[in-house]
Amino acid sequence: KQEVTQIPAALSVPEGENLVLNCSFTDSAIYNLQWFRQDPGKGLTSLLLIQSSQREQTSGRLNASLDKSSGRSTLYIAASQPGDSATYLCAVIPPLGGYNKLIFGAGTRLAVHP
């Protein structure tokens, strides 16, 4: 059974730091991997989606990489800002699966302080 793990569960950094959030999954057979952001009292927002054939995706200060063979993905946030404070979740979809097969990690709660 596919399991998705995110370490650390919480992270506090000063503003301006470059940081890396980790996501690992037990079964390398995935269709794609997605990173979401969750703000308190709000729903999840999709940040980046990496297809299984891709190695990375970039959006602004965010860069997500995927290494299927090792079952790992990282979300790199450059020059962190207080507005980046949120919980970041990764999720995978198995081959031939759709959104009804999405498997989430528990998330990393990030706090960026001024």
Partner 1 sequence: NAGVTQTPKFRVLKTGQSMTLLCAQDMNHEYMYWYRQDPGMGLRLIHYSVGEGTTAKGEVPDGYNVSRLKKQNFLLGLESAAPSQTSVYFCASSYSQESSGANVLTFGAGSRLTVL
Point out which residues bind partner 1 (CB under 8 A).
Answer: 4, 9, 31-32, 34, 41-46, 49, 89, 91, 93, 97-100, 102-107
Residues in the chain: 114
DSSP strands (E only) in 1-114: 4-7, 10-14, 19-25, 32-38, 44-51, 56-59, 62-67, 72-77, 86-93, 103-104, 108-113
Provide the minimum distance between the beta carbon of 83 and partner 1 in the complex, in angstroms, as a whole number. Answer: 18
- Measured from the CB atom, is 71 or 80 closer to partner 1? 71
Provide the minimum distance between the beta carbon of 58 and partner 1 in the complex, in angstroms, as a whole number. Answer: 13
- Measured from the CB atom, is 52 or 85 closer to partner 1? 52
- Measured from the CB atom, is 35 or 80 closer to partner 1? 35
Provide the minimum distance between the beta carbon of 66 and partner 1 in the complex, in angstroms, as a whole number. Answer: 14
- Measured from the CB atom, is 30 or 77 closer to partner 1? 30
Specify whether the CB–CB gap between 18 and 80 falls below 8 A.
yes
Specify whether the CB–CB gap between 90 and 36 falls below 8 A.
yes
Provide the minimum distance between the beta carbon of 101 and partner 1 in the complex, in angstroms, as a whole number. Answer: 8
